[in-house]
Amino acid sequence: MTSPLHTEDYAALATFRYALRKFLRFSKVFLAAKAKLTPEQYEALLALKAFSTNKGLLVGELSERLQVKHHTAVSLTDKLVARKLATRRRGRSDRRQVYVKLTGAGSKLLTSLAAVHREEIRVRSSEMIDPLKRLQR
């Protein structure tokens, strides 16, 4: 059985979500202004960088990482390929498998965007970590 919620728990939940929303708003505005990317496209680039094998990442794996439907991952892939930020290649042994991989341009763009996001998280981290710590008690 879970313990009852107290006023401090509600405050911690609300404070965490508020801090998260502020960070996500910063990210959305920054990505649109600096790279003409959506947050989902940026998240796809991050997933490709962090979790790809030598072949890349399967579209299904990208879908799972982003928590989106398969057709949404396909659409994101199409947009990244059109901008030459990623490549798409069918599997050799199973043509149903589609691998997505960062290009050099995608990796370079991601490096600059991720550095700014990391700094923003460093600045805002206590806003997010403190309420989470309160909820762990």
What tens digit of pLDDT does each residue of 68-110 get?
999 999 999 999 999 999 999 998 888 889 999 999 999 999 9
Q: What percent of the chain has pLDDT over 90?
A: 93
pTM confidence score? 0.92
Cα–Cα dist 106/46, whole Å: 10
Non-local (6+) Cβ contacts of 78 within 8 A are none
How many structural domains compose the chain? Answer: 1
Q: What is the pLDDT of residue 92?
A: 87
Does residue 1 form part of some domain? Answer: no
Establish if 2 belongs to a structural domain. Answer: no
Residue 36 in domain: yes
Show the domain range for 54: 7-136
The CATH number that applies at residue 72 is 1.10.10.10
